[in-house]
Chains A and B, each alone.
Chain A
Amino acid sequence: MPPAAAAEQPSSDALSLRVPEPHGRPGDAPAFAGLLNSRAGNVRRPPVDAPARGMEDLAASLIRVLDDDGQAVGPWCPDLSDPELLAGLGDMLKVRAFDSRMLMAQRQGKTSFYMQCTGEEAVACAFQRTMRPGDMNFPTYRQQGLLITAGYPLLDMMCQVLSNSRDPLKGRQLPVMYSARTHGFFSISGNLGTQFIQAVGWSMASAIKGGTAIAAAWVGDGSTAESDFHSALVFASTYRSPVVLNIVNNQWAISTFQGIARGDGPTFAARGVGFGIPALLVDGNDFLAVYAAAAWATERARRNLGPTLIEHFTYRSAAHSTSDDPAVYRPKAEHEAWPLGDPIERLKTHLILKGIWSEAQHTQAVDEIESEVLGLQKQAESFGTLRDGPPLSPREMFLDVYHEMPPHLQRQRQQAGF
């Protein structure tokens, strides 16, 4: 959806620079006209072992399963049992409740920082259902749904966010930069894009060793501009490594709209085409579509058919982080106007339509999850917060820099008095 200005030709011979602008700024009405280029069920689903060549159309047309009424339609409709669907809804509700509590904890000064994934819950929660024990995600800071769906204890996540005495990362990391090898969740780094090529390396290792595990790489729309993104694509393609390369296009990189990363012309998925990597563009707010695309891509990887690129098309409903105020750079109600809706509401509608869920059950589930999360938060805070309660030993500051502490760090630790 290129902005109108891009099409205008300068009238004189003088050159002029094209600087893309978003569809709306504060005070403007949200405008997403023409955004949806396919109706639910309308995009074809090629066989998993189809060659990349001839699949280019899939990088440009949005795979959607749930229609406006909540019916699951078309060839991408996944094979998910009722209990799996209900569990998926539960995962998303848990992510949202967790985000909400941690946001509150930050506002109350119990930690310094937090990042929500509001509106993007389906992407991680649906994707994780296609991963197996031993597989490894290389997430960004906005895929907490992977951890929660994988069953990582919320209590441990909270302790990390609070940097308290039970923090698995010993107070060394900024909140939300989790690490959980046991749950297939690689250590998060603040440096954007770096993990995208690392995921490819990990998957190459699995192939070198003749293993069965696959990797999933994650990056946002903004970070596709980082050079590691491009390295990842060329390495994955060259070595045909078993990796799924996920781009979560939530339209915004802090205050910068995705057109600045050149998502306003060809899609981000189309980046895969040039590398000979099959690429899918998927409705990221459609739990069923994300699951179906992920299942297709992970099966390709497991069958040694190589990498797949998936662009998850979604919208960052919340602020970038607790240090951000989106009201200063985008229309206030833009997330409400997002034509792909809310992932939780859409799956809920589908499940009610299917006759396996009801408004009453939903309300009860939300209440139960919120009180569970609140109870865990109280438990987590009993181990301390960033500012109060039982502290971590500052000795931790000097450990794990190296496998064994070298003499200069031993001296510094003594000097510091720990």
Chain B
Amino acid sequence: MIEAIRDAHDVMMEREPNLVVFGEDVGFFGGVFRCTKGLQKKFGSHRCFDTPISENGIVGAAVGMAAYGLRPCVEIQFSDYMYPAFDQIVSEAARLRYRSAGDFSAPMTIRMPVGGGIYGGQTHSQSPESLFAHVCGLKTVMPSNPYDSKGLLIAAIEDEDPVVFLEPKRLYNGPFDGHHDRPVVPWSSHALSEVPDGYYRVPLGKATVRREGGAVTIVTYGTMVHVALAATQESGIDAEVIDLRSLVPLDEEAIIESVRKTGRCVIVHEATRICGFGAELSAVIQESCFYHLKTPIRRVTGWDTPYPHAFEWQYFPGPGRVADEIRLALED
């Protein structure tokens, strides 16, 4: 996934002379996760450079650059550290087009690693997607595999609107199904690790079905796609697994079609529950699929606590918890 993200930068920096890439440690060093490795050497320090440790500075400067006519793709080292930039993201990038009636706009991408399952503790594990999804004017994207990472990042960079691009860092080196006690598997053995050379796009706002099934719909994204697939396989239940990929815009049609077919739904995300994105998903499904639902919509999420260090696997919604909820959704 790291290589796919790096490659998306590379492809787009070749194609789009106005694309500039910057953030803390992204230049010479190539990023703490290697996602921008070699870009400065190849494209020069005017196109890819290190910044002061200032998230509001990074995003604020990017807004100004985008207003000039560049297409910045910036990195916040961990999503847990985006809060100093929140004002620039919410009050500025997201609203610039609206408040200026299109006089100015902010075509920019803000990348940030998200999610836990890595013993990251409180400030290297958060999943703040619902904070972005709530902001009108932003698009919010989270890939679950190398193929989508590259295609979605290219689409995000080309998009005329500001896109928050959330990268589950637990998936950087390989798929992770929540079985932390098993050896780490690299991407190379996974079907979606096949990443075409050159340019291609995965459209924003389009979900995909990862597993077709008839008994229950699991709506999820990011790391939890792999957890949901594992839970499905291990429970032997014929679940349909939807990978949203984009949270905003949301592919409501794909969700509604599936839930109307199965009549049951489990929403799975790593983020905390109260006002998490699952609440919005649940409301959308309730409004559109009420008469098709055979049992209540269920949510498997992180607990409403800060992300703990020592209790990583009691916190992380693993395949066992997901399978339990799937079984409950099937009762009656």
List residues of A whose CB falls within 8 A of some B CB: 136, 138, 168-170, 172-173, 177, 179-181, 186-187, 189-191, 194, 196-206, 208-209, 215, 227-228, 230-232, 234-235, 238, 400-404, 406-408
A189 to B64, CA, bound (A): 13
A235 to B65, CA, bound (A): 13
B97 touches A200 (CB 8 A): no
Across the interface, name the chain B residue whose C-beta is closest to A231: B57
Q: How many A-B residue pairs have CB under 8 A?
A: 145
Interface string of B94-119 (1 = CB under 8 A from A): 01111111111100000000000000
Does B54 reach chain A (CB closer than 8 Å)? yes
Supposing A169-B100, A170-B101, A408-B249 touch, asked if A401 and B63 sit within 8 A by C-beta, the answer is: no
State how many angstroms separate the Cβ of B71 from the closest Cβ of chain A: 10
B97 touches A201 (CB 8 A): no
**Interface members, chain B 61-91 (any A CB < 8 Å):** 61-65, 67-70, 84, 87-88, 91
**Interface members, chain B 136-160 (any A CB < 8 Å):** 136-137, 139, 159-160
A231 touches B60 (CB 8 A): yes
Contact sample, A vs B, 9 pairs, CB 8 Å cutoff: A168-B101, A197-B56, A197-B61, A201-B60, A202-B67, A231-B54, A235-B52, A401-B97, A406-B248
**Chain B residues, Cβ within 8 Å of A406:** 205, 248-249
Within the complex, which residue of B54, B68, B99, B102 is in contact with A202, where a contact is CB–CB below 8 Å? B68
Does B182 reach chain A (CB closer than 8 Å)? no
State how many angstroms separate the Cβ of B251 from the closest Cβ of chain A: 9
B99 touches A235 (CB 8 A): no
**Chain B residues, Cβ within 8 Å of A181:** 100, 103-104
A179 to B96, CA, bound (A): 10
**Chain A residues, Cβ within 8 Å of B205:** 406
A179 touches B64 (CB 8 A): no
A186 touches B61 (CB 8 A): no
**Chain A residues, Cβ within 8 Å of B103:** 168, 179-181, 187
Across the interface, name the chain A residue whose C-beta is closest to B52: A234
State how many angstroms separate the Cβ of B155 from the closest Cβ of chain A: 13
Does B250 reach chain A (CB closer than 8 Å)? yes
**Chain A residues, Cβ within 8 Å of B61:** 197-198, 200-201, 204, 231, 235
B70 touches A205 (CB 8 A): yes
Within the complex, which residue of A170, A180, A198, A407 is in contact with B92, where a contact is CB–CB below 8 Å? A198
Within the complex, which residue of B92, B100, B137 is in contact with A401, where a contact is CB–CB below 8 Å? B137
Within the complex, which residue of A201, A231, A407 is in contact with B252, where a contact is CB–CB below 8 Å? A407
State how many angstroms separate the Cβ of B81 from the closest Cβ of chain A: 14
A192 to B111, CA, bound (A): 25
A350 to B139, CA, bound (A): 56
Known contacts A189-B99, A231-B60, A235-B57; 14 additional CB pairs below 8 A are A136-B67, A179-B99, A180-B103, A189-B95, A198-B63, A198-B64, A201-B63, A201-B67, A202-B67, A209-B69, A400-B102, A402-B137, A403-B97, A403-B159
State how many angstroms separate the Cβ of B97 from the closest Cβ of chain A: 5
B46 touches A208 (CB 8 A): yes
Within the complex, which residue of A168, A196, A235 is in contact with B54, where a contact is CB–CB below 8 Å? A235
**Chain B residues, Cβ within 8 Å of A189:** 91-92, 95, 99
B96 touches A227 (CB 8 A): no
**Chain B residues, Cβ within 8 Å of A404:** 160
Does B233 reach chain A (CB closer than 8 Å)? no
A173 touches B99 (CB 8 A): yes
A194 touches B161 (CB 8 A): no
A313 to B185, CA, bound (A): 64
B84 touches A227 (CB 8 A): yes
**Chain A residues, Cβ within 8 Å of B52:** 231, 234-235, 238
Supposing A194-B92, A198-B61 touch, asked if A403 and B99 sit within 8 A by C-beta, the answer is: no
**Chain A residues, Cβ within 8 Å of B248:** 406
A27 to B197, CA, bound (A): 76
**Chain B residues, Cβ within 8 Å of A170:** 101
Interface string of B254-266 (1 = CB under 8 A from A): 0000000000000
A401 touches B57 (CB 8 A): no
A401 touches B136 (CB 8 A): yes
Supposing A208-B20, A238-B52 touch, asked if A202 and B64 sit within 8 A by C-beta, the answer is: yes
A230 to B20, CA, bound (A): 23
